[in-house]
Amino acid sequence: MDTYDFIVVGSGIGGLYTALLAKEQGSVLVITKGSIDDCNTRHAQGGIAAAIGKGDSPQLHVQDTLKAGCGLSDEEAVRILASEAPYRIADLVNYRVPFDTLDGEVALTMEAAHSMPRILHAGGDATGEHIEVALSRQVRSSGIQVLEDFLATEILVEKGKVAGIRALDCRTGTIEEFPCRYLILATGGAGQLFKYNTNSAIATGDGIALAFNAGAEIADMEFFQFHPTALRIPGVLPFLISEAVRGEGGVLRNVEGYRFMADYHERGELAPRDVVSRSILYEMKKTCSDKVFLDVTHLPAPTVASRFPHIYRFCLDHGLDITRSLIPIAPAAHYMIGGIRTNTWGETNIAGLFATGEVACTGVHGANRLASNSLLEAIVFSRRIVERARSKAQKKPSPGGRVKDVYSTLGQRPVPRIVPQPSLTILQQTHWDGVGIIRDRDGLNQAAGMLAAWQQALPPPTDQPSCELSNLVLTGRLLAEAALIREESRGAHFRTDFPESSPKWQCHIVWRK
């Protein structure tokens, strides 16, 4: 069997962009468990951040990112992100991503916790889809080999170095092995851990489970970002209402019509996402409701329809004209901030293993991701992965930076007295209730105990559903146990029993097998 120079697992922006760059250096195979077009990138409405506007600068972008990260961002990684952003945007333009323009210049908008308008968008609120379509078209025409409907199940490691990947053919049920020199995990997040989420159905924590089982370090799993504004209509799956809607002037009102965000934060609707999400939950509790409203009825109707065509049409298809009626919304799980720990070249602690995109923990986001830095992070560090492989430089240790590390391993847990039968529905409800936006020791203990019992009881997976459930159980346990260890509130991690931040917890919780 031929050995590939690069195998890329995943077909979001990180995976496709890496594959296109790697093709210039050797043979490439892309493995994806769905089609090449199935990924979370497609769902990214808001846009991609870059300091390219008048009066803006990479330094301002750095400052905003570090502030959002609540003391846990790796400053070197953040500086790389901000300084390389304009060049990576140029790459996307060369790949024919049609960013929106105004008077001949790229249109820029404001989003929460940014100090300047620096968010590029395409098709109004269809940025992720346009990037995904442009890159997948380039991959299809480039001759890169793509295996669709293959689910990676094991990383092959020999003498401390990646040797290849084992994957399940989801159509036939057979297992195949693919040798490689370099393996890049770009498998996305784990939003399917939660009952209410904005993610694609494929976001089942596969990369985290793969990497952890192979011996890679996993960091910052307790920080999971919830999007404040997901459409809440009975019988309709949560649909993302972009951050940019508030950036363009949308306001939040409770079910009594009161505009409440000024009561919680000086920046109102443009406060950091974790603040807005918790504020919405508090208002829902106060008013005994399962929702609040996002109001854009004061904005010109043509502006709303043209700036947010996907949101406008989706809501209209469900009987809601957002130019005339309030949008019912509630928070939903959105983005996995932690992940496979990498250095600033995308390298893990296993030689030859890299990670990029949502599955990676580069250190950029710290305890809370700044809006629209995710797509940018994927392309910036994907390019650095290929540059690193080309240079054949000696691998540096994983980053420690100025923030200390607390290493931990998954130990045995007492089996709870009552353990429900493993199922995706129970797992999602348990995470939503116990490991969600607002946490405490009892809820976290209950979730962690159930997941530990399931880990012991689950038989070896044999097909895609059982593989995905197994991956979610492991990923969810890493999340719940990390949230238990961190006895403070910081960024996207909030505990009612430890509601304040503590200097002693300015550290990374790092998992080792």
**Residues across the chain:** 513
Catalytic site residue from 273, 278, 307, 439: 273
Q: What is the pLDDT of residue 194?
A: 98
* Residue 273 bears catalytic tag: yes
Which residue type occupies 35?
Answer: S
pLDDT tens for the chain, residues 1 to 513: 689 999 999 999 999 999 999 999 999 999 999 888 665 555 556 689 999 999 999 999 999 999 999 999 999 999 999 999 999 999 999 999 999 998 888 999 888 889 999 999 998 888 888 898 899 999 999 999 999 999 999 999 999 999 999 999 999 999 999 999 999 999 999 999 999 999 999 999 999 999 999 999 999 999 999 999 999 999 999 999 988 899 899 999 999 999 999 999 999 998 888 899 999 999 999 999 999 999 999 999 999 999 999 999 999 999 999 999 999 999 999 999 999 999 999 999 999 999 999 999 999 999 999 989 999 999 999 999 999 999 865 555 455 456 899 999 998 888 888 899 999 999 999 999 999 999 999 999 999 999 999 999 999 999 999 999 999 999 999 999 999 999 999 999 999 999 999 999 999 999 999
Q: What is the pLDDT of residue 392?
A: 67
Q: Which residues pair with 498 in a beta bridge?
A: 495
Select from 67, 101, 428, 471 the least CA-distant residue to 267.
Answer: 67
273 CB-side CA count, 13 A: 34
Q: What is the pLDDT of residue 46?
A: 65
Q: Which domains does the chain have, with CATH numbers?
A: 226-333 (3.90.700.10), 404-511 (1.20.58.100)
Select from 386, 439, 385, 445 the least CA-distant residue to 413.
Answer: 445
Question: What does pTM read for this prediction?
Answer: 0.94
**Whole-number Å distance between alpha carbons of 244 and 453:** 42
Q: What is the pLDDT of residue 41?
A: 55
